[in-house]
Structure 1
Amino acid sequence: MSEDKPKIIIDEDWKSQVEAEREAAKAGEPGASAPGGSNQPTDATPPAAEAAGSPDGAQDDDPPMPPASLPMLVSSLATEALMALGQIPHPMTGETIARPNLAKYLIDMVAMLKEKTADAAEPEEAQAIEDILHQLRMAFVAVQKK
């Protein structure tokens, strides 16, 4: 029966391969990889970048992201919580499915962030988090009453 078991191969050298690829990318060697190669194609320009028509390979329908910030993180969690409450449809499926346990978890995450960042957050950030948290809690209560 030992023939039926899949053979597991452990790649102990993956960290050094990643580091070598990063160094090669910094040196401006597109498609360079660590010794031993990788499963990635070695073309200098990936097909997706050619189709996008932009020099950095970003697609036209993939706008640049805003800078990372505490309010953006809280906003992302709030959006997920509203989806879990069934208040807004899922962007991929268009369905609205209430998942109260997930919503409560996400609201608790926002509350934890508020608590952990209370001393470090700017007053405007703290107020924005407080407002979002209040709105999420009220939405949660409204869904629970239905």
Structure 2
Amino acid sequence: MSDTDDTPKIQIDSDWKAQAQAEKEKLAAASKAEPGGDSPENTDFGGPGGEALPPANFETLLSSFVTQALFAMGAIPDPQTGQPALHLDLARYQIDMLGVLEEKTKGNLTEDEEKMLAGTMYELRTRYVQVANAQRGA
């Protein structure tokens, strides 16, 4: 294979990175748009019961993992029983999934998103250790 064969691949890679960066900037600008704006994130598809769905952005994705982890650690009661349920293996899994998210998005998040993810992971890990230690002592 000659150098000229490799050049288009490098160009394609550079073009892809430029396009991805442009889309990232577009999404960041759209997330700052007023609610109800023309942004795809603000499109009201309607959730269960007709309420608006949250925007499809990094913060909402992070929130989803956090909610699941807190539920598994008993911080959020089961909606059917009203009682907290403790599933440490599931909580650990959700925290590990956030670790995968952190690893795979390294260098692609805004500074605020990086801080949010790091702070969230620290808080969840700290809470997990506290809950696990309390469970062992019980």
Task: Give the TM-score taking structure 2 as reference length.
Answer: 0.59
Give the letter for the 1:127 counterpart. Answer: K
Question: Which has more helix, going by share of residues?
Answer: 2
| Structure 1 alignment gaps of length 5 or more | 1-55
Query: What's the RMSD between the two structures over aligned residues?
Result: 2.2
1:58 CA displacement: 5.0
Q: Does 1:74 align with 2:62?
A: yes
Q: Are residues 82 and 60 of structure 1, via their aligned partners in 2, closer, same or farther at CA, if it must alter by over 3 Å?
A: closer
Q: Are residues 57 and 72 of structure 1, via their aligned partners in 2, closer, same or farther at CA, if it must alter by over 3 Å?
A: closer
Give the letter for the 2:86 counterpart. Answer: A
Largest Rg, 1 or 2: 1
Q: State whether residues 45 and 53 of structure 2, in contact with CA within 8 Å, keep that contact through their aligned partners in structure 1.
A: no
Q: State whether residues 69 and 91 of structure 2, in contact with CA within 8 Å, keep that contact through their aligned partners in structure 1.
A: yes
2:50 paired residue number:
62
Give deviations 1:75-114, integer Å, cap 9, x for gaps.
1111110010111212343221100000000000011101
1:111 paired residue number:
99
Q: Are residues 61 and 121 of structure 1, via their aligned partners in 2, closer, same or farther at CA, if it must alter by over 3 Å?
A: same
Aligned residues: 91
Give the letter for the 1:118 counterpart. Answer: K
Give the letter for the 2:70 counterpart. Answer: L
| Structure 2 alignment gaps of length 5 or more | 1-43
Identity %: 35
Bigger shift: residues 91-100 or 76-85: 91-100
Give the letter for the 1:125 counterpart. Answer: E
2:131 paired residue number:
143
